[in-house]
Amino acid sequence: MSQTVQVPKTVTDDPRWAQVRNRDRRADGRYVYSVSTTGVYCRPSCGARLPRPEHVRFFDTTGAAQAAGFRACKRCKPDQPPLIEQHGVLIERLCRLIEGADAIPPLKDLAQAAGLSPFHLHRIFQAITGVTPAAYARAHRAQRLRAVLSGAGSVTEAIVDAGFASSSRFYEAANQTLGMTAQEWRASGRRTRMRFAIGQCSLGSVLVAASERGVCAILIGDDPQALLDDLQNRFREAQLVGADAEFERWVAQVLGLIESPLQGVELPLDLRGTLFQQRVWRALTKVPAGSTVSYSELAARVGMPQAVRAVASACARNHLAVVVPCHRVVRSDGGLAGYRWGVERKRELLVREGARVARSEVQSPASDIQAPLWSLPAAPGTGAKSQSAAKATDVTGAD
């Protein structure tokens, strides 16, 4: 039995007309439309004045429109690749230009090479890459620095080879770029001191670790040794030391956040990741307790709505559980999706945060939660060490 294809009676009945009216860029490349009064054909997203529907005709290809006697619109250029593709090719060329330059090229020079205004170039570069041209150049230079530090004869030679104009500029950015000084990085972090604690909380075993810059790891799991192994893999040769009074206060804040999410924390954080990952993690810290956000919504918040997979990857690489609340990211349909520390823990955290939010409307959060006992490594010189501290005296610095 043959199927009957419903043909729209008029242009306004055609669903493509709604896309043209809305100038929907997602429809570009699928078809073109012609305007009989002007003799041109356009993309669905063309910014020209909207024609009357009785003058519009749709074509599946540009060739079909040309065969019917229409010429390409000079504004939207439908006979050329879509604008987003043109921008992508342009930005890729500029990225190669930045990577090959000895110094960070000024924005005006990049704009001149692209044939655009500095403002326009800055906008499309950030829209496509997620970072500004200067930030991209700094990130690439840091990558080059890591590479040359591994083989250069001295830190000074490495700075020059990596393209830094002066040592002061490098040392100003080195701590943020490498997570430690260049000499410490070359030594694989052997001189990096790291405090840590392993204990039990209501979600299982929890490990908290901090560098001199702040908390750099909060790991949750069932096996304390597995958490310690994870820490050792991340910081292969850092020197683990015992807790002090300041670190105990940080641990108490982490513990309080797990048990009572609404109380908030004020902790110095040592975020270690790519520029894009740090951008996603900072966006996560702005999602309030009791709320959730989808991966696509989070991608839009960081200015890259097409980078949903990259956002999910950044969430998966988060190593600061609860403080950087990646558990608040769910699928578009509300499903929990995955969670590095277990979907059940993710569900429990969300339920707990939702319950706290609901109760806070009528009363203060409960304060009679029994605090878990933490196993804190003894401070150096006390003569006592926890089992965890005894097993790890040499663990590595930055990832």
What is the C-alpha separation between 70 and 68, in angstroms, rounded? 6
Active-site residue flag, 95: no
Q: Which token pair is 27? A: 């429809």
Sign of CA dihedral 335, 340, 345, 349: negative
Instruction: Please state the length of the chain.
Output: 399
Q: How far apart are CA 46 and CA 32, in angstroms?
A: 10
Strands 71-72 and 40-42: parallel
- The tokens describing 328, both together, are 């608040």
Q: Which residues contact 155 (CB under 8 A, 6 or more apart)?
A: 149, 182, 183, 186
46 is catalytic: no
Decide: residue 378, CB within 10 A, 0-12 exposed, 13-18 middle, 19+ buried: middle
- Compute how many other C-beta atoms are within 10 angstroms of the C-beta atom of residue 323: 19
Q: CB count, 10 Å around CB of 384? A: 11
**Catalytic residue numbers?**
42, 326
